[in-house]
Amino acid sequence: MLRKEWLIAVIITFITISAWVIFDIFHTRSQVEIPQKLQEIIVPISPDLDTSSVESP
């Protein structure tokens, strides 16, 4: 390749990587967050099983 062709390839690669980073940052910032009130309402279920209520008398 000629020197000019290498320069064009480097410029195109730089533009592509820059656009990729910019769009990734934009995508990360625009993701929806769960409101604090909803986070308080949603509580994880306890994985511990109460075996005493399952056992037969």
Q: Which residues contact 9 (CB under 8 A, 6 or more apart)?
A: 1
Assess if residue 20 is contained within a domain.
yes
Number of domains composing the chain:
1
Assess if residue 31 is contained within a domain.
no
Assess if residue 46 is contained within a domain.
no
Reading the block at residue 42, the tokens are 């949603």
**Mean pLDDT for the stretch of residues 35-46:** 82
Residue 44 pLDDT class (50, 70, 90 cuts): confident
**Mean pLDDT for the stretch of residues 25-33:** 83
- State phi, psi for 12 to the nearest 5 degrees: -65, -40
Q: Kindly report each contact of residues 1-6 with a partner whose C-beta sits within 8 Å and lies 24 or more positions away, as own/partner.
A: none
Q: Which residues contact 8 (CB under 8 A, 6 or more apart)?
A: none
Residue 57 pLDDT class (50, 70, 90 cuts): low
Give the structural domain span for 7: 1-25
Assess if residue 44 is contained within a domain.
no
Assess if residue 14 is contained within a domain.
yes
Assess if residue 4 is contained within a domain.
yes
Assess if residue 37 is contained within a domain.
no
